[in-house]
């Protein structure tokens, strides 16, 4: 997050709180893709990620006055997004037996494959998905979304030391998983 972006965000939030509706639209336009990317990697499901993005911005709209300006607005926003994802993950865990929503638009080709727009190699997708949730989220925030460790700590509301531990252990598990995947594929190729 550049200084100018942070400054612009601060200005937009002030305008929004002063009553400028278009400022909220600008905030949304500036951050929606990154919020989506974050939500997608946490939720691992496009539909759920889209729901989380929607819920995040509705929460931001309603609670923008609670942003105290101590950290960058984007950090606050992504924290809202992260918490929203956690809430939704909890809900989905409770309703795991329910049918998968069918609300995907068939005309939207990218939405056919929920990982299509993530542009990951299949083995990397699989390895990331296989990480324990707390490690995966820390790795995603740090190494995929590029948040500094201090920001990740703030987003997840945990100490920086814990973030480091999760990130390093998550990376180790990821690399081991990828190595196993390669070994398995080589074995299959040799067998064939």
Partner 1 sequence: MHEHDLSLIGAYAEGTATEPEALRAQEAMDECSVCQQDFELQASALTSLSEVTPAQMTDFERARVRRAVRGEISATTITATRATPSLASRLLPRLAVAAVGIAVVGFVGNQFLPNLGGSDTAAERTFDDAATTEAVQEEAATFDTTVESAPFELAESDMAEEGTAAAGVESPQADEQAEALVSAQMSPSELSSLMPVDGTRLPDDVNAEQSAPGSLRPVALTSSDGLVLSVLSEPVPFLCVGAATEQFGAEGSLDVAGLGTIDGQVVEVFSFGGAARAFERDTCAVVDSDLDLPS
Task: Name the residues that contact partner 1, by CB under 8 A.
Answer: 18-21, 24, 28, 32-34, 36-37, 40-41, 46, 50, 53-54, 57-58, 61-62, 98-99, 101-111, 117-121, 124, 127, 139, 143-145, 161, 164-165, 167-169, 171-172, 174-176, 178-179
Closest distance between partner 1 and the C-beta of residue 191, in Å? 25
Closest distance between partner 1 and the C-beta of residue 165, in Å? 7
Closest distance between partner 1 and the C-beta of residue 8, in Å? 20
| Cβ distance to partner 1 smaller for residue 70 or 108 | 108
Backbone angles phi, psi at 108, to 5 degrees: -90, 95
| Cβ distance to partner 1 smaller for residue 36 or 73 | 36
- Tokens representing residue 30 in the block: 């500036």
Quote the CA–CA distance of 160 and 148 in Å, as a whole number.
10
Closest distance between partner 1 and the C-beta of residue 147, in Å? 13
b/e map 26-37, b = 16+ CB within 10 Å? bbbebbeebbbb
| Cβ distance to partner 1 smaller for residue 33 or 87 | 33
Please check whether residue 85 is in contact with residue 77, taking contact to mean a CB–CB distance below 8 angstroms: no
Quote the CA–CA distance of 6 and 73 in Å, as a whole number.
7
Q: CA 86, 33, 73 angle in degrees (round to 5)? A: 70
């Amino acid at each position: 997050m550049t200084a100018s972006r942070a400054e612009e965000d601060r200005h937009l939030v002030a305008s929004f709180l002063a009553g400028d509706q278009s400022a909220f639209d600008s905030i949304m336009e500036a951050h929606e893709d990154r919020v989506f990317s974050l939500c997608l990697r946490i939720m691992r499901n496009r539909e759920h990620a889209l729901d989380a993005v929607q819920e995040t911005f509705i929460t931001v709209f309603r609670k923008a006055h609670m942003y105290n300006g101590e950290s960058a607005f984007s950090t606050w926003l992504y924290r809202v997004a992260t918490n929203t994802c956690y809430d939704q993950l909890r809900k989905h865990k409770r309703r795991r037996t329910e049918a998968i929503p069918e609300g995907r638009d068939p005309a939207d080709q990218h939405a056919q494959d929920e990982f299509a727009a993530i542009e990951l190699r299949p083995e990397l997708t699989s390895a990331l998905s296989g990480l324990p949730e707390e490690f995966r989220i820390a790795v995603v925030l740090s190494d995929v979304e590029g948040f500094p460790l201090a920001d990740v700590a703030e987003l997840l509301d945990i100490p920086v030391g814990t973030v480091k531990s999760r990130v390093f252990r998550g990376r180790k598990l990821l690399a081991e998983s990828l190595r196993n995947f390669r070994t398995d594929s080589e074995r299959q190729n040799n067998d064939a």
